[in-house]
């Protein structure tokens, strides 16, 4: 931790506050590492979108961008729900910086040490954070699982931290809202 205990996330967040959101967003997207698989310690193996989140330099940029985007609406939700590795790679840091609870939803048929399908604090109004949306199975699974356990919980929206990989675009965002009965927060 640099500067007497200040985390790198705090320093980047301070920079985020000083720069207008449109300039910050543009800088983040323009500075994505071209050779995302190559790091100082070796080559990252995995699918294209997974390699982005496994590269710590790209992951830090994703986290800071998400915090800057979600900070604008942070009074609308109390929890962030995620499922699987793609969510757990970024949600703890995002939740910490936004002072939100984490709700972990186990994947269907996941073999693990816990019998719980949901872990975390009961959400009242929550968002889902995931890498992208393609088939929609993860979003439906998260909403269904939380809905079965906590009938009064409400999903406010979905934040995809890799929006360029999503099946939905600005032109089809109304279809998403119709299909999932929630907002697509960053497309």
Instruction: Name the domain count of the chain.
Output: 1
Average pLDDT for 73-92 = 94
Tell me the residue range of the domain where 80 lies: 2-184
Q: pLDDT at position 116, please?
A: 80
pLDDT digits (tens, 9 = 90+) for 10-64: 555 555 554 444 444 444 444 443 466 667 777 776 666 777 788 888 899 999 9
Q: pLDDT at position 108, please?
A: 75
Q: What is the pTM of this model?
A: 0.79
The CATH number linked to 145 is 3.40.50.2020
- Residues 91, 80: Cα–Cα separation, whole Å: 7
Tokens, residue 9:
């996330």
Q: Are 150 and 81 in contact (CB under 8 A)?
A: no
Q: What are phi and psi of 28, to 5 degrees?
A: -60, -50
Residue 143, pLDDT > 70, answer yes
Average pLDDT for 90-100 = 97
Q: pLDDT at position 92, please?
A: 97
């Amino acid at each position: 931790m640099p500067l007497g205990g200040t985390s790198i996330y705090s320093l980047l967040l301070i920079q985020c506050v000083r720069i207008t959101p449109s300039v910050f967003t543009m800088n983040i997207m323009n500075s994505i590492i071209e050779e995302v698989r190559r790091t100082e310690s070796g080559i990252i193996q995995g699918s294209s979108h997974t390699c982005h989140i496994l590269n710590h330099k790209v992951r830090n940029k994703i986290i800071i961008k998400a915090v800057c985007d979600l900070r604008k609406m942070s009074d609308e939700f109390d929890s962030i729900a995620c499922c699987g590795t793609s969510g757990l790679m970024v949600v703890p840091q995002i939740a910490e910086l936004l002072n939100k609870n984490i709700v972990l939803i186990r994947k269907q048929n996941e073999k693990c040490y816990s019998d719980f399908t949901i872990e975390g604090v009961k959400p009242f109004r929550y968002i889902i954070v995931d890498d992208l949306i393609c088939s929609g199975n993860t979003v439906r699974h998260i909403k269904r699982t939380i809905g079965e356990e906590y009938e009064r919980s409400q999903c406010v929206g979905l934040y995809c931290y890799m929006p360029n990989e999503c099946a939905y675009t600005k032109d089809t965002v109304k279809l998403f809202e119709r299909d999932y009965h929630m907002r697509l927060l960053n497309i």
